[in-house]
């Protein structure tokens, strides 16, 4: 049993408005992410500090349990609010997020002693397209928050982390688009064009 937690708590500073609610192919971007990923999840939750804006989704909405602590606080909120033992965490602004990659991450987590299965790319780790074991990750994240940490992966050394190599990830991301976060109107236009092209 797995919860999909979509993080919609960012401030979207670069674009000046809530990216998750901006139109993508004529609908709010977050709907694109939900529809791409929902089939593999037993529960879908949204973390947001503006729940009224997301009420139209008809999904459980959770505000930060550690306000003002950025992405790490958001990750804690996602795991603490999830009902299931495994939690897939996705960013709200990734229109090409991959259900198949999440399923692969989930299966690796189930079959191993890992606490986290996370993809890596040439740019680094992708904690907002990863799967977490709730029981072990929650206390580690809480400890990091208590110590004043901000970095999303500050607590990783305490646990067993299975990092997917770029080659493993490429099998599910042949076009290099899965981890693309949309940050500008131009990127929205480019991503829409790619989606229409199939």
Domain positions in the chain are: 2-197
- Identify any residues that bridge with 23 across adjacent strands, giving them in sequence order: 28
- In three-state secondary structure terms, 35 is helix
Which pLDDT does position 27 carry in this prediction? 95
Which pLDDT does position 161 carry in this prediction? 97
Roughly what angle, to the nearest 10 degrees, separates helices 29-37 and 99-111?
50
Q: What is the mean pLDDT of residues 90-111?
A: 96
Contact of 168 with 129, CB cutoff 8 Å: no
Q: What is the mean pLDDT of residues 152-166?
A: 95
Q: What is the value of pTM for the model shown?
A: 0.94
Range with the lowest mean pLDDT among 6-10, 51-55, 111-115? 6-10
Does 3.30.160.340 match the CATH number of domain 2-197?
no
Contact of 90 with 17, CB cutoff 8 Å: no
Structure-token match 């809480």, residue found: 142
């Amino acid at each position: 049993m797995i919860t999909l937690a979509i993080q919609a708590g960012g401030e979207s500073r670069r674009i000046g408005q809530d990216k998750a609610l901006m139109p993508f192919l004529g609908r709010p971007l977050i709907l694109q992410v939900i529809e791409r990923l929902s089939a593999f999840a037993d529960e879908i939750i949204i973390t947001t500090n503006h729940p009224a804006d997301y009420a139209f989704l008809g999904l459980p909405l959770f505000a930060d349990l550690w306000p003002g602590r950025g992405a790490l606080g958001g990750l804690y909120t996602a795991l603490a609010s999830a009902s299931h033992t495994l939690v897939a965490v996705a960013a709200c602004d990734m229109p090409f997020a991959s259900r198949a990659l999440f399923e692969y991450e989930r299966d690796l987590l189930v079959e191993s002693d890992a606490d986290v299965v996370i993809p890596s790319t040439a740019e680094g780790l992708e904690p907002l397209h990863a799967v977490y074991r709730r029981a072990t990750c929650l206390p580690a994240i809480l400890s990091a928050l208590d110590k004043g940490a901000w970095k999303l992966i500050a607590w990783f050394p305490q646990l067993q982390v299975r990092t997917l190599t770029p080659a493993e990830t490429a099998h599910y991301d042949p076009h290099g688009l899965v981890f693309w976060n949309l940050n500008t109107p131009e990127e929205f236009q480019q991503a829409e064009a790619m989606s229409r092209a199939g």
